Amino acid sequence: MLSQLHKIPARTDYVEAVYKALLDAISDGSLPPKTRITQEEIAEQMNISRLPVLQALRMLKNDGFVEDAPGRGLQVTALNIEWIDKLYEVRGALDSLAAKLAAQKKCVIDPQLIKHGRAVSEKGDVSALIDADIAFHSAIYDASENPLIAKSAHLHWVHLRRVMGAVLQSSQRSAIWDEHQAIADAIKNGDEKKAAELSELHANRARKNLIHQLEQTLSTN
């Protein structure tokens, strides 16, 4: 809940800090769907003025994370499984293209990314696991040398972060880092076809798993 939000140290980029803090709280379940939030509560909890909070809430509303609540204030939007399914279709296409382009250059994806991912997976830290997953895929986006891929994927990832947070609290797919290793190997070996196919298959497996887990999570709430 809002009581879990931390005070923000004195800084100039308050809007971005508030946006990230609220997005993290929505993603890790601290602010579950339909939770009512007001700028006054957030400003008081985080020990800042209302203006950056108002701007951050506008950004969250524009991105679809919060919506007008009945009466007054805003509330966290509910997760929409059909929309999530379409979101993963786009992600699969972007990941496949990025892997293919990276394989053309026989890029070496930093092995430490996978090593770190395996380590946090064993610890069960959901937020760290999501960060590790994003870091791996971002490395492939960068290796593709097509800046439009990373730019296009960014907005999708902030939404996927929320979905992943919702389901990974109760379930983690153990094969994820083995699949990452296989993709990295195909890229390093310059196998464009295999890299693209493995990336699309990886995204499809993640989509099916997350939607299945999400359906179970929503049915129990």
Q: How many percent of the chain have pLDDT more than 90? A: 49
Report the chain's C-alpha Rg in angstroms.
18
Reported as a pLDDT band with limits 50, 70 and 90, residue 5 is low
Q: Which domains, ranges and CATH numbers included, belong to the chain?
A: 2-76 (1.10.10.10), 81-220 (1.20.120.530)
Q: Tell me the pLDDT tens digit for each residue of 130-154.
A: 889 999 999 999 999 999 999 998 8
Range 160-167 average pLDDT: 77
DSSP string, 44-81: HHHTS-HHHHHHHHHHHHHTTSEEEPSSSSEEEPPP-H
**In this structure, are residues 60 and 18 in contact, taking their beta carbons and an 8 Å threshold?**
no
Q: Is pLDDT above 50 for 10?
A: no
Average pLDDT over residues 21-38: 87
Q: How far apart are CA 146 and CA 102, in angstroms?
A: 10
The predicted structure's pLDDT at residue 7? 58
What are phi and psi for residue 75, nearest 5 degrees? -140, 155
Token pair in block for residue 73: 């204030």
What are the tens digits of pLDDT across the range 53-87? 999 999 999 989 999 999 888 999 988 888 888 98
* pLDDT per position as a tens digit, 175-194: 889 999 999 999 999 999 99
